[in-house]
Amino acid sequence: MNMVAPRSSLRIRLLAGTLVWITASIIVAGWGLRSLFQQHVEAQFHAELKTHLDQLTAQLTLDSRGHASLALPLSDPRLSRPYSGCYWQIDQTHDGMPPETGVLRSRSLWDHVLATPPDTPADGEIHQHRIIGPEGKMLGMVERSVRIDDTPDGKSRSFRLIAAADESLMTEPVSRFSGALWLALGVLGGGLVIAALVQVFIGLAPLRKLHTALGKVQSGEMQHLDGDFPAEIMPLVDQFNAVLVQNAEVVERARTQAGNLAHALKTPLSVLSNAALAPDARDSALSRLVIDQVGTARRQLDYHLARAQAAATALIPGTRTPLSPIIDGLVRTMRHIHADRQLALTVMPVSPSLAFRGEPQDLQEMLGNLLDNACKWAAHQVEISARCEGGNLRILIDDDGTGLAAEQREAVIQRGVRADEQVPGSGLGLAIVDDLARLYGGRVELADSPLGGLRAVLILPVAQ
Amino acid sequence: MRILIVEDEPTLQAQLAKGLSAAGYAVDTAANGIDAHYLGDAESYDAVILDLGLPQMDGITVLRKWRAAGRTMPVLILTARDGWHEKVAGIDAGADDYLTKPFHMEELLARLRALIRRAGGHASAEMTCGPLTLDTCNGRATVDGQALTLTSHEYKVLAYLMHHRDEVISRSDLVGHIYAQDFDRDSNTIEVFIARLRKKLPPGLIETVRGLGYRLSAPP
């Protein structure tokens, strides 16, 4: 679940990065394309105006009275439709005097006269301007000066030729193009975002798989990370598996060492206590002291070794212990060890799929101690049953012995307290079982058994 | 009753041998796995006390080899290893009981008696044969409630015959189970013990099967 937390999410990092790039590229592309198109349309607009101007220049003649006139009307039909947006006008200029504007005008101008800027282009020059035309619209305009020397009356005349067109002829296609362009780019961007999402989803799939596999290892379903992972993740998986193996080895070593220590200490203790109990030494003060101290040493040793072994477990992930074989093995052992008691040991059917999330040795230690206790105290009957309840294993061990008073139950679970000094090891056994169970997040509960004696309930995490 | 003690710690081995001898058992000892395996395989013991951590060959391997070879004598594992997984492994390898160190000699003796008794198919500590009753817990024999006075060797012979009642037991069998291996064995002494027992027991209880040995059985 940590993988999708907003702050450190790889997915959000990748998506955010991709989104920024997609947005930036689309904006740059859109802006670039739009300005290219605009330049093109503007160039065409002015080229058309120049064509009109050229035609005007070619058709300009003087009639017999020296007035300007056109030899032929200009070909573009828009020039004859009123307020069509395409206009021309010819002004007559006089040196040192204000020009006579609108001596000839296109039909499209109707009764409007274009206000001309106060400049005079030199011969051959073309000037561009923006002016206000009919109906207050902005026009783009080109002008050129033409001087006609070959006149009927011999006086040369100057004219200013103007071709103009509504700027909307230029802006409209650009805005239409922009609309279509942004729509197309929007669709493209949407597609890219979806592609990025899919890519991130596919690209991060191995991480999700790893996450699932880790979960299975933790719940004890798998012993190690399994499956094919991409080359970038595989080293991580291999190292993790190596750590798991190493962990298990360390635990095994610690257990072996604890066992060796037990062996090394207990044999000399046996020698001491046997010597103290020999017929010639028995009942002397020294022998009583030795027996007493050996007993204390033994209890301390048992307690701390059990603790050491349990601590070594360190809850290795990936361990799973099926319940049934462990119970069967222990019951076989109990039948031998308590053979003289002629007990009826009954195992209620245990589902073969029930498993403990932990080490087999720890389960044996806990169950073994509880069963051993039950066998010591039972009159005739011991019964074992197990089930899964509320996500936990509940293993019930019932006996038909004398049971324990409620106020004693709490005490026997405390370390080293023994319910009856006559039955060796019982108190210690329960304390160790409870300690071990608690390391696994479980516990031991004592209750009245329907058989009449004590019921011990061992609650442990269940493995899927 | 002849017992093999397998224990590599010399002081403990000596204590065990002393304790068992005092309880009336014939005792052989071995201090390593190889010797133990050889003795258990070659000789006939009524029970074996086996340590697990042994030099040369560990106890579990020794036990497995005996069982694989069809040796069925009762085996009590006596070890410092007290994990339940070790106990289960020991029992599954063929052990009949498991006792952990440090232990009380009384408990070991009680368990050994029970083991030998069960191996003979006797469920309780008291065995009877006609008017004769033998309590293996306190080593007392009675005939119709009257206590018998037996020497240690007489008791050993009687106890062995009781454990194998209605079976024909050869003289060499008796010798083997009454004396330790390094003892000077003379099967003629057996005849002496049998003769003394017959005087103390009701007639007809111990019968001689000519050429084969002796049989203890209730008179018809």
What is the reported pLDDT for B182? Answer: 60
Query: Hey, is A66 helix, strand or coil?
Result: coil
Question: CB-CB: which of A265, A279, A336 is closest to B97?
Answer: A336
Between A184 and A224, residue with greater pLDDT:
A184
Strand partners, B168: B215
Strand partners, A457: A396, A445
HSE-CB of A213 using CA atoms within 13 angstroms = 18
Domain extent at residue B11: 2-119
**Same domain membership, residue B70 and residue B16:** yes
Q: What is the rounded CA–CA span in Å between residue A167 and residue A85?
A: 8
Q: Domain end: B119, B145, B163, which one? A: B119
What is the reported pLDDT for A399? Answer: 93
Q: Domain end: B102, B119, B136, which one? A: B119
| Average of per-residue pLDDT across B184-192 | 74
**Same domain membership, residue B186 and residue B93:** no
Burial A228-266 (b: 16+ CB within 10 A, else e): ebeeeeeeebeebbeebeeebeebeebbeebbeebbebb
What is the reported pLDDT for A313? Answer: 60
What angle separates helix A360-377 from helix A323-337, to the nearest 10 degrees? Answer: 40
**Same domain membership, residue B54 and residue B25:** yes
**Same domain membership, residue B180 and residue B139:** yes
**ipTM associated with this complex:** 0.73
Angle A32-A38-A40 from CA coordinates, rounded to 5°: 105
Residues 6+ apart with CB under 8 A from A243: none
Query: Hey, is B26 helix, strand or coil?
Result: strand
Query: Is any Cβ of chain B less than 8 angstroms from the Cβ of A259?
Result: yes
Instruction: Pick the residue from chain B with its C-alpha nearest to A262.
Output: B80
What is the reported pLDDT for A134? Answer: 86
C-alpha dihedral (B38, B39, B43, B48), degrees to nearest 10 = -130
What is the reported pLDDT for B34? Answer: 94
Provide, as residue numbers in chain A, all residues whose Cβ is less than 8 Å from the Cβ of B123: 342
Provide, as residue numbers in chain B, all residues whose Cβ is less than 8 Å from the Cβ of A267: 9, 12, 80, 101
pTM of this structure: 0.61
| Average of per-residue pLDDT across A116-133 | 84
Chain B residues contacting A, CB < 8 Å? 9, 11-12, 15-16, 18-19, 22, 53, 79-88, 90-92, 95-98, 100-105, 114, 118, 123
Query: Is the peptide bond prior to B102 cis by the omega test (within 30 degrees of 0)?
Result: yes
Provide, as residue numbers in chain B, all residues whose Cβ is less than 8 Å from the Cβ of A270: 12, 80, 101-103
CATH number at residue B38: 3.40.50.2300
Provide, as residue numbers in chain A, all residues whose Cβ is less than 8 Å from the Cβ of B16: 274
Residues 6+ apart with CB under 8 A from B70: none
Q: H or E stretch including A362?
A: helix A360-377
Asked if the model's pLDDT at residue B12 lies above 80, the reply is: yes
C-beta atoms surrounding A295 within 10 Å: 15
What is the reported pLDDT for A340? Answer: 82
| Average of per-residue pLDDT across A136-156 | 85
Residue of B52, B82, B109, B111 to mutate when probing chain A, most A C-beta within 10 A? B82
Model confidence band, residue A7 (pLDDT cutoffs 50, 70, 90)? low
Reported as a single tens digit per residue, the pLDDT across B44-77 is: 899 999 998 888 999 999 999 999 998 889 999 9
Asked if the model's pLDDT at residue A420 lies above 50, the reply is: no
Instruction: Pick the residue from chain A with its C-alpha nearest to B11.
Output: A271
| Average of per-residue pLDDT across B8-16 | 91
List Cα–Cα distances, A228 to A100, A209, A223, in angstroms: 90, 10, 16
**Same domain membership, residue B141 and residue B165:** yes
What is the reported pLDDT for B184? Answer: 63
Query: Hey, is B208 helix, strand or coil?
Result: strand
**Same domain membership, residue B154 and residue B106:** no
Residues 6+ apart with CB under 8 A from A350: A323, A324, A327, A385, A386
Asked if the model's pLDDT at residue A114 lies above 90, the reply is: no
Question: CB-CB: which of A264, A267, A333 is closest to B88?
Answer: A333
Asked if the model's pLDDT at residue A1 lies above 50, the reply is: no
Chain position carrying tokens 């232990």: B103
Q: What is the rounded CA–CA span in Å between residue A31 and residue B183?
A: 114
* CA dihedral sign, ordered A345, A348, A351, A354: negative
Provide, as residue numbers in chain B, all residues whose Cβ is less than 8 Å from the Cβ of A265: 80
- Beta-sheet strands, E only, within A133-261: 138-148, 157-166
**Same domain membership, residue B137 and residue B114:** no
| Average of per-residue pLDDT across A165-175 | 90
Whether residues A274 and B85 touch (CB distance < 8 A) is answered with no
**Same domain membership, residue B115 and residue B56:** yes
Residue of B20, B52, B101 to mutate when probing chain A, most A C-beta within 10 A? B101
| Average of per-residue pLDDT across B89-105 | 89
How close, in Å, is residue B4 to chain A by CA atoms?
19
**Same domain membership, residue B17 and residue B114:** yes
Query: Hey, is B135 helix, strand or coil?
Result: strand
**Same domain membership, residue B176 and residue B131:** yes
**Same domain membership, residue B54 and residue B12:** yes
C-alpha dihedral (B136, B140, B141, B146), degrees to nearest 10 = -150
Q: What is the rounded CA–CA span in Å between residue A170 and residue A32?
A: 18
Count the domains in chain B.
2
Residue type, A448: D
Left if phi > 0, otherwise alpha if psi is -120 to 50, otherwise beta: which for B181?
alpha
Residue of A270, A324, A356 to mutate when probing chain B, most B C-beta within 10 A? A270
Percent of chain A surpassing pLDDT 90? 27
Reported as a single tens digit per residue, the pLDDT across A299-344 is: 778 777 777 766 666 556 667 889 999 999 999 999 988 888 888 9
CATH number at residue B209: 1.10.10.10
Q: Domain end: B119, B152, B168, which one? A: B119
Mean of the per-residue pLDDT values of chain B: 86
CA A106 to chain centre: 70
What is the reported pLDDT for A430? Answer: 80
Whether residues B91 and A332 touch (CB distance < 8 A) is answered with yes
**Same domain membership, residue B16 and residue B109:** yes
